[in-house]
Homo-oligomer: A and B are copies of this chain.
Amino acid sequence: MPAAIDFYFDFASPYGYLASLEIDALAAAHGRSVNWRPILLGAVFAVTGSKPNMQLPLRGDYLKHDIHRIARRQGAPLVWPAVTPVNGLAAARSVWWLSEREPATARRLAAALFHSHWGEGRDIGPADVVATVASGIGVDGAALLAAIAEQRIKDRLRAETDGALARGVFGAPFFIVGGEPFWGWDRLPMLAEWLTRGGW
């Protein structure tokens, strides 16, 4: 069984959203599976001393223009959220909680949360919004709200974020397959080529 692709993302990243629409098909075309791994970029940036790109002068304007340009090209739904960067804490905890019991549903929840935030412009920061989105795909919203308040789930997200940092993840989306790192939506073609050629 060839190595899976670890897909690190933060719901706050629009490039992560764009990547989330493509990564499963890319992986399947190369006989790979994908581990969807939400992390908190804020905790990563606290270590690396970075800031969200969309808050940087000039870069933030370019980013917005670029995201719209890519979304048009890919035919991806995009409504710029009123709240950016969104607080992805409740969303990320929910995905990790669900991944322990229903991995396939956890992946669907992540996709639904990405769509709600970037495809429809909703603020998915509040836990009750996350629960509503989860209910929409058949997940028990009350159970979700109880679970993400548990220390064990909080610790899980923290451990995953720390683990990402330990593997060199400094931004998102970030992909690691067979030890090879790829940063950014725009590296998906190179990731695909790497899998086709077996590296170079």
Contacts and interface: CB of A to CB of B under 8 A. Distances in A.
Interface stretch (A102-110, A138-146, A150-158, A165-173): A165-173
Contacts of A181: 62, 65
Nearest to A73: B200
A58 B57 CA distance: 23
A149 to B, nearest CB: 31
A58 B169 contact: yes
Nearest to A48: B57
A170 B72 contact: no
B56 A50 contact: yes
A145 B189 CA distance: 44
Given A72-B200, A186-B187, A56 B49 contact: yes
Chain A: interface residue count, which band?
20 to 34
A179 B165 CA distance: 38
Nearest to A61: B168
A78 to B, nearest CB: 14
A170 B50 contact: no
Interface string A171-192: 1000000000101101101100
A1 B77 CA distance: 36
Given A48-B59, A49-B57, A66-B183, 20 more contacts: A48-B56, A48-B57, A48-B58, A56-B170, A57-B170, A58-B165, A58-B169, A58-B170, A59-B171, A61-B168, A62-B170, A62-B181, A62-B183, A65-B181, A69-B200, A73-B200, A186-B186, A186-B187, A186-B190, A189-B189
Top-3 shortest CB links A-B: A58-B170, A186-B186, A59-B170
